[in-house]
Amino acid sequence: MKALILVISFLLEGIVSNFVPINGFFAPLFTLIALIIIYPLFDEATEYYKYAFVTGLVYDLFYTDTIIFHAIIFCFMAFLISKLNLVLSDNYVNVLVIMAICILIYRIVTYGFLVLVSSVSFDFIALIMSVLKSLIINLIYSVIIFFVVKRFQKKSKYKF
Amino acid sequence: MAMYNKRRFDKRYLFILVVVAIALVLVVLAFSLQKDRDLNPIEKVAKDTITVVLKVVSAPFNFVHDTVDSIIEKNNLYEKYKELKNKEEQIDSVVSQNDNLRDEVNKLKDTLNLNTILSDKVYMNATVVTRNIGYWYDEVTIDKGSKNGIEKGMAVVNPKGLVGQITKVSNYSSTVKLLSNENMSDKISVKIKVADKYVYGLISQYDSKTNTYTVEGISENVDIEEGADVVTTGMGTIFPSGLMVGKVNKVTTDNFDLSKVVEVQASVNFDDLDYLTVLKRKTE
């Protein structure tokens, strides 16, 4: 179930990227959203980190050609998500809050690293825009996937 | 007391771990973002796999997309027909002219003993599989690779003009770095048509908000008209000559009033890339 959601989100990110304008107002980040939504399904923290690491590694290999960069970033995001889940309970509004914080930090961290290796030059407006652009489409996706997960959870009576 | 010591150790350990991780990330990132890096075999296999998988999975989505497009297009069919008919009437004369010119070029090449000229090129068509994942990289992946004859450094165009350059190649897919990337559009040699001669300059940057390039280094004292064509020169870079880059938008001078700075409207819409053509410059 967890792996299935991750795989579907991962593939959808690739497909949706093909139908939205390249620098337009929608930037899909479905893999990260899936990581946020599936957090309550895990019993052990280490298992969750393993999933995050492997997902990041696959993301590197398949999409961005950056060897291990996203694997480490996703592990860091997993750490952040687990810390945020300690203070926020598992309902939809809180998922939205976590999502917004995660997208913000994810964009800042990746942009920060890319600026540090001087792959892009620093542009504050571009950074803010990238966060805004990612919010809308990912919000819609998170609604869908959140309620799908909740339904399955109820059906199988919390047995995962 | 023992607990206290253990926690302190844990924190220090974590700190070292974080520092090492950041250092590792920086090194790896700097290495992996090199423009002329070869993909290792594992990456090649992974890229090929995802290309095939995405092509299969996105087939139904593409079908819906194409159907909607064709329905929209059917709406103004009559106007299109009229426009095309108009163009068709002119095409015969253009074709004969083109044949004539090609013949002349070949004859001149023979007399000069030239095998190739800078504008000779070979075409290959490809479909875009993923677009700009990761947001900052300005890359698209296409479904043709080294087995189809694609090599690193080839120019990529669409019907409207120059799009970018091949930077990474695996067996059945390759990555195109777009000109909208600031590292990419740097120092491409272009020429601007003025009356019946050309002035030469270099693209210095790209602005994604207005979809324009800035061309610098034009020292000649000529009046550049707005709307003049800007094309590649085929010098210095690997791009063949005569590829459309854009049209002149605005002409200003630099801070010292010594040379002209030209704002060029890019002919390609980088937001909408579905099918691309890879060009190979003939060298032999």
Query: For B136-184, what is each residue's pLDDT tens digit?
Result: 888 889 988 888 888 888 888 888 888 988 888 888 889 898 888 877 6
Contact in structure between B159 and B187 (CB atoms under 8 Å): no
- pLDDT over 80 at A23, yes or no: no
Which residues of chain B have a CB within 8 Å of the CB of A103?
none
What value of ipTM does the predicted structure carry? Answer: 0.81
pLDDT-based confidence at residue A125 (cuts at 50, 70, 90):
confident
- B24 to A113: CB separation less than 8 angstroms, yes or no: no
Of B53, B61, B132, nearest to A22 by CB-CB distance is: B132
- pLDDT over 60 at B1, yes or no: no
B140 reaches A (C-beta below 8 A): yes
Work out the average pLDDT over B261-271. 88
pLDDT-based confidence at residue A74 (cuts at 50, 70, 90):
very high
Per-residue pLDDT at A101 = 92
Per-residue pLDDT at B151 = 86
- pLDDT over 50 at B280, yes or no: yes
CB under 8 A, 24+ apart: contacts of B76-85: none
Cα–Cα nearest to B240, from B177, B169, B188, B202: B188
Question: Who wins on pLDDT, A100 or A89?
Answer: A100
- A72 to B134: CB separation less than 8 angstroms, yes or no: no
Give the chain A residue whose CA is nearest to the CA of B167: A65
Q: CB within 8 A of B213, min separation 6: which ones? A: B179, B185, B203, B205, B206, B207, B230, B245, B246, B263, B264, B266
Per-residue pLDDT at A55 = 93
Helix (H, G, I), strand (E, B) or coil at B110: helix
Which residues of chain B have a CB within 8 Å of the CB of A11?
53-54, 57
Share of chain B above pLDDT 90, in %: 3
- B133 to A134: CB separation less than 8 angstroms, yes or no: no
- pLDDT over 90 at A134, yes or no: no
Domain boundaries, chain A: 2-155
Of A61, A69, A111, nearest to B43 by CB-CB distance is: A61
pLDDT in tens, B56-68: 888 888 889 889 8
Mean pLDDT lowest among A114-118, B23-27, B47-51, B119-123: B119-123
CATH 2.40.10.350 location in chain B: 188-266
Cα–Cα nearest to B273, from B205, B210, B188, B180: B180
Work out the average pLDDT over B185-189. 75
Chain B residues 153-192 with CB within 8 Å of chain A:
168, 175, 178, 180, 182-183
- What's the rounded Cα separation, in Å, for the pair A55 and A61? 10
pLDDT in tens, B190-212: 888 887 788 888 888 888 888 88
B129 reaches A (C-beta below 8 A): yes
From the candidates B127, B136, B275, which should be mutated to test the interface with A, based on the most A CB atoms within 10 A? B136
- pLDDT over 80 at B120, yes or no: no
Q: How far is A104 from chain B (nearest CA, A)?
A: 14
Per-residue pLDDT at B28 = 85
Work out the average pLDDT over A54-81. 89
Contact in structure between B238 and B223 (CB atoms under 8 Å): no
Of B43, B50, B133, nearest to A17 by CB-CB distance is: B133
Work out the average pLDDT over B4-11. 61
- pLDDT over 70 at B5, yes or no: no
Per-residue pLDDT at B6 = 54
Per-residue pLDDT at A16 = 87
Entry field: residues in chain B: 284
Q: Which helix (H) or strand (E) holds B68?
A: helix B59-75
- pLDDT over 50 at B107, yes or no: yes
Class of domain B188-266: mainly beta
Cα–Cα nearest to B33, from B167, B218, B217, B162: B167
Contact in structure between B149 and B24 (CB atoms under 8 Å): no
Which residues of chain A have a CB within 8 Å of the CB of B137?
64
Q: How far is A53 from chain B (nearest CA, A)?
A: 13
Per-residue pLDDT at A105 = 94
Which residues of chain A have a CB within 8 Å of the CB of B138?
22
pLDDT-based confidence at residue B92 (cuts at 50, 70, 90):
confident
Determine how many CB atoms are found less than 10 A away from the CB of residue B14. 10
Per-residue pLDDT at B2 = 47
From the candidates A60, A75, A119, A138, which should be mutated to test the interface with B, based on the most B CB atoms within 10 A? A119
Average pLDDT, chain A: 87
Per-residue pLDDT at B283 = 60
Per-residue pLDDT at A103 = 92
Per-residue pLDDT at A33 = 92
